[in-house]
Structure 1
Amino acid sequence: MVLVLKRQYFPEGTNGKLACEGQFICHTIELPWKNNETRVSCIPEGEYFLSKRYSTKLQWHLEVLDVQNRSLILFHPANNALHDLHGCIAPVTKISGPGLGLLSRKAFTKLKTLVFKALDQNESVLLLVES
């Protein structure tokens, strides 16, 4: 499975559209681009594999693997990139401003269901991040 994240960059945050094989899944919000600096920047454009991850705080979610000079880059619910994210990607149902979105849990559930189904069938999931 290949997911494509097309981004738009703004000083206050990064907005995106996530699709699978041309089918829209959800919008995304991230931190602004700040040269891949830890905890203040979105990740670089490129190709990344996704895996399942569990934590007591977030329960089951998705991890973006092998991000250069970064670790624990996740897909998890959040509605405000500057307040709720440290480099991660938040699926949202609707964009409400640069780095801002609405109904993140709903969008996250949709994405997680789709990706977990592929991973449970031993299919690799590739994320292409581009502008």
Structure 2
Amino acid sequence: MVLVLNRTYFPEGTQGVLEWNGTIVCYTIELPWLQNQRRISCIPEGEYVLVKRFSPKFQWHLHLRSVPGRDLILIHPANDAKKELLGCIAPVSQHSGIGKGCFSRKAFEKLKALVYPVLERNEEVKISIHSNSSTSLPLTFLLKEKD
């Protein structure tokens, strides 16, 4: 299974659309691209293996393996990239601003329901991250952000 994350970059944050087999699973938020600097930048584009991971803070979540120059890059719930992420990816049900979204836990549950059964069959799950330069936010959304 390969999930595809198409990103759009902004100075304040990174917006994404996560798809599987051409169908949108959820949207994503991340920190802005700042040359892969630890804790303040989103990670580089590329393909990464996903595994299940447990922590007391996030409970069961997803871990991206072998991210160059980074460790413990996770997929976990968050609604504000700058306040809640340190380089990780947060699924959201919809974008509410640059680097912001809403109903993250709901989106994360949907993602887990898709991915966990595949992982439990010991099948590989990857995420392929790309720039989506052909897609831009609607003008009304961009104008609202500047207010």
Same-fold status (TM-score > 0.5): yes
Give me the whole-angstrom Cα distance separating, in 2, the residues matched to 1:86 and 1:7: 17
Q: AA paired with 1:14? A: T
Residue number in structure 2 paired with 1:67: 67
Matched, 1:123 2:129: no
TM-score, with length taken from structure 2: 0.88
Match of 1:40, SS state, is coil
Aligned to 1:40: 40
Letter in 2 for 1:73: I
> 1:31 matched to which residue of 2?
31
**Cα distance between partner residues in 1 of 2:10 and 2:112:** 26
Q: The residue matched to 1:105 in structure 2 has which SS? A: helix
CA offset at residue 23 of structure 1? 1.1
User: 1:106 deviation in Å?
Assistant: 0.1
1:10 aligns with 2:10: yes
Structure number with bigger Rg = 2
Structure 2 counterpart SS, 1:117: helix
CA distance in 2, matches of 1:89, 1:112: 14
**How many aligned positions are there?**
131
CA RMSD of aligned residues (A): 0.5
1:77 paired residue number:
77
Return the offset for 1:93.
Answer: 0.1
User: How many Å separate the matches in 1 of 2:83 and 2:56?
Assistant: 20
SS in 2 for 1:52: strand
One-letter amino acid of the structure 2 residue matched with residue 60 of structure 1: W
Distance 2:94 2:125 in 1: 24
* Cα distance between partner residues in 1 of 2:18 and 2:54: 22
Encode CA deviations 1:50-70: one digit per residue, 9 max, x unaligned.
Answer: 000000111000001100010
Aligned AA for 1:103?
F
* Distance in structure 2 (CA, Å) of the matches to 1:55 and 1:11: 31
1:89 paired residue number: 89
Indicate whether 1:101 and 2:98 are aligned. no
Structure 2 CA distance for aligned equivalents of residues 11 and 112 of structure 1? 29
Identity of aligned residues (%): 59
Distance in 1 between residues matched to 2:3 and 2:104, nearest whole Å: 18
SS of equivalent residue, structure 1 residue 128 = strand
